[in-house]
A and B are shown apart, each in its own frame.
Chain A
Amino acid sequence: MLFDIGRVCMKISGREAGKTCVIVDKKNNFLIIDGNVKRRACNPKHLEPLDIVLKIKKGATTSEVKSAMKKEKLEVKDKKKKEKKKLEKPVKKRKTKKSGVNKKEEKSTQKKTSKKSTRKNDKKTTKPKK
């Protein structure tokens, strides 16, 4: 039949519209889907069947479904886990900057302050004359 177990479909409505999924189980009038979408019960009106059928058991897990999809050469999206390294790097940089650049900063700030002070003094001196 159209909506048998193992049928590959595309979601048409909702936030996950345009993503491929596989039918895993049946529940009353709803279908349970998995794959590139979150595992959930779905109305068959929100699905459009494709002409591919995968060989999986009833109630298969997400890892089993994704491995079966890779054998059929369908696109599978996995979550990336590289965010932790990015958080650590800037903390190290800040420590090095504070320890190494402190002396240079002090000199530069002294020069800047001296220049600014002279400019301000010039302006202050010029204004009251007018």
Chain B
Amino acid sequence: MQQLATRREYPEHSKPFRKKAALLSVIALGLGQLYNRQYAKGILMLAFYAYGVFTAVTSLPHALWALSTLGETETHLQKVGKLYKQVLGDHSIFLMVEGLITVFIMIVLVWMYIAGIKDAYQTGKLREEGVQPNTFNQTLSFVMSYRFPHIVLAIPMLGVVFFTVMPIIFMILVAFTDFTRETMPPAHLINWEGFEAFWGILRNKAWSHTFYSVTLWTFIWAFFATVTGYFGGFAAALLVQSKGIRFKPFWRTAFILPFAIPMFVSTLIMRNIFNGQFGPVNQYLGMLGIAKAPWLSDPLWAKITLVLVNFWLSFPVSMLMIIGILSTIPKDMYEAADIDGASGTQKTRLITFPMVMYSMAPLIIMQFVANINNFNIVYLLTNGKPLNGDFQFAGHTDILITWLFKLSMEQGKYNYASVIGIFIFIVLSVFAVWNVRRTKAFKEEDAS
């Protein structure tokens, strides 16, 4: 509404309202609004300001102290009367999380404070131009209609900030501390350690060897998992959709089966199917007179089994997507090719394949990224086994994310795990940002 206000000549009695309003707002948020005769709004903002100042005074110093020192008193025994009693010290991790939350809230408060000052200034400016400031009801309806997206997004954003952003920041902070199971609070204090954990992984021979090997395997795994799944799905899609095949819905449904069965169930089942001693696969091989294969116990075989099981799990998704894309390829392209006398394979190679590749490229990248992080299949199928004596707490088939999990949940080396987490974070972000920026759904569609 403010934007719609018509510009007028400055009346004779115009005063410098805007500076006064803004200044008053700087002193105490809401005063500027009161000065602008927006009483209800002003009182609300004053109350908010009082709350903000109260929070800042009461908890900000504590939060800053907590974040910078991570606690100063350790749990210790203290003489109370004649007895020694255990006195709980500072809990470094709680202090860190609390400090983070307080800092987050303060950032929001400061942002709202600045917005309030801006508002007072704008309203003052309008008054100078002789426009009546909005009444409270007008303000409300303005907020409801023009700030609607912000209000709606606030709820999901709150969830994202609390359960995704803050944990990630926490993880990044932990990488710079000495937080391990041995220094577990509240019995011990945690200290800032700078890049100690980073050097620990990169400079120590045993650790860096593990890190490089696991990283290499992660990428090899992601590559093969993505490629097999994609081309398997492509072949299945072409097979199902090819001319003359009957009962198409039946075949499609049969191939969706691996996708439809909950993954944790099918992976646990696969672990038993490929069991070296009792599993049915080796049993059938035995019946055929072929030697048993060490599906899960030999390093190379275990890796092949992983890719194979992942193929089973993932080709239906690619197939469904490619079937969807095949239906969008214009028929006249094939008709034109027919007239030119192209053979079936030529049509597949020169029309279908490039069209599908063009559409699927972003999805393939996304699958590659998802496979780098494919925790479930590795954890449930091999759990990183077979063990590797040269590695620090990792097996032959462990990928970065399962190694991270083992380091934190099993070994309690939280700082090292966080370093790995940061590394994964950086690798993923590069792929993700690049990919997200170029997908069509993301590009502006303002023309419509």
A binds B: no
